[in-house]
Amino acid sequence: MKIAVVGATGMVGEIMLKVLEERNFPFTELILVASEKSVGKVIEFKGKKYSVVGLQTAVDMKPEIAVFSAGGQTSLDWAPKFAAAGTTVIDNSSAWRMDPTKKLIVPEINANELTKEDKIIANPNCSTIQMVLALAPLHKKYNIKRVVVSTYQSITGTGVKAVQQFENEGAGIEGDMVYKYKINRNCIPQCDSFEANGYTKEEMKLSNETKKILGDNSIAVTATAVRVPVVGGHSEAVNVEFTNDFDVAEVRTILSQTDGVVVQDNLDTFTYPMPRYAEGKNDVFVGRIRRDESQPNTLNMWIVADNLRKGAATNTIQIAEYLVAHNLV
């Protein structure tokens, strides 16, 4: 079992390597891949040193699985080349997510859709993953009509340069600006670029990807995505209107029994999810579960997850684990 990590020197790539180690992923050969400027760089993994190779070299080595986190254009250019060589690609960019011929997978929800013929598999957007993991079991039980979500997204979702901007501002250092405005002690109501309809790409991802993953285009989703000066993970205030009424205690039970979800919801002890406690963890945390008293059949939740973990690297590696466990590669 040869596995390639494409984008191994990036922020998500580094977490992918951590997750591979933590979960003891079964491979016989590890291929670390990055752009030409990083070729030859040495990375240590499990006490062994690996030299970074270029994309064509990696294709020629014909790994069974390649996990990509190297940007959309790299995925568009190179995922088909890997697939043509017989490699199954799991891509963390937005390049293939809404392609009708590609599966968009959160393993706990829809991994059973995968077959050996799926050579390019899309990993959803980080904000979408944590939201749908909580929504999926509730949709089955009560049938979702509409979702209103406001996100509070970590600067790590933008990348290492955004973290550097944040740290520079806190230290009073003039440096490169990734955002149009200062992020320290600020909130920026823009994640990604604006579309013609006035929504950002991130907001539209939440809408479009949710429908695809849950397999239901009738679900109405509207989103406002906000960048906040936080490192540990993304937070979301989610308002869900169902066709059928629900019992709040039953909702808590359903979520508590959902793989990958941890309920943190005890007002007596001030227990609720926060990004500083989600950082470095693979679960999705749900709390502030309560009925929306302004209209029928509607629920409020607060959902938090480490966007580099379950929102990216962990979900990707879980897909790879499923492929191996079910002999799909």
Place of tokens 């580099």: 308
From the candidates 139, 187, 191, 234, give the one annotated as an active-site residue: 234
The answer on whether 185 is annotated among ligand-binding residues is no
Distance of CA 248 to the CA centre of its chain: 27
The answer on whether 10 is annotated among ligand-binding residues is yes
The answer on whether 41 is annotated among ligand-binding residues is no
Q: Residue 324: which H helix or E strand, with range?
A: helix 314-325
Give Cβ neighbours of residue 42 (< 8 Å, ≥ 6 apart). 49, 50, 51, 52
Instruction: Determine the Cα–Cα distance for residues 295 and 254; give it in Å rounded to an integer.
Output: 22
The answer on whether 294 is annotated among ligand-binding residues is no
The answer on whether 227 is annotated among ligand-binding residues is yes
The answer on whether 101 is annotated among ligand-binding residues is no
Distance of CA 208 to the CA centre of its chain: 15
**Token pair in block for residue 178:** 């990734």
Instruction: Determine the Cα–Cα distance for residues 147 and 155; give it in Å rounded to an integer.
Output: 24
CB atoms within 10 A of CB 51: 10
- Distances, alpha carbon 24 to alpha carbons 83, 228, 230, 271, in Å: 25, 34, 30, 32
The answer on whether 153 is annotated among ligand-binding residues is yes
Fill in the amino acid letter for 262: V
Largest CA distance in the chain: 60
* 234 has catalytic annotation: yes
What's the DSSP call for residue 171? Answer: H
Annotated binding site for phosphate: 97
Annotated binding site for substrate: 153, 227
Catalytic residue ranges: 126, 234
Annotated binding site for NADP(+): 9-12, 37-38, 307
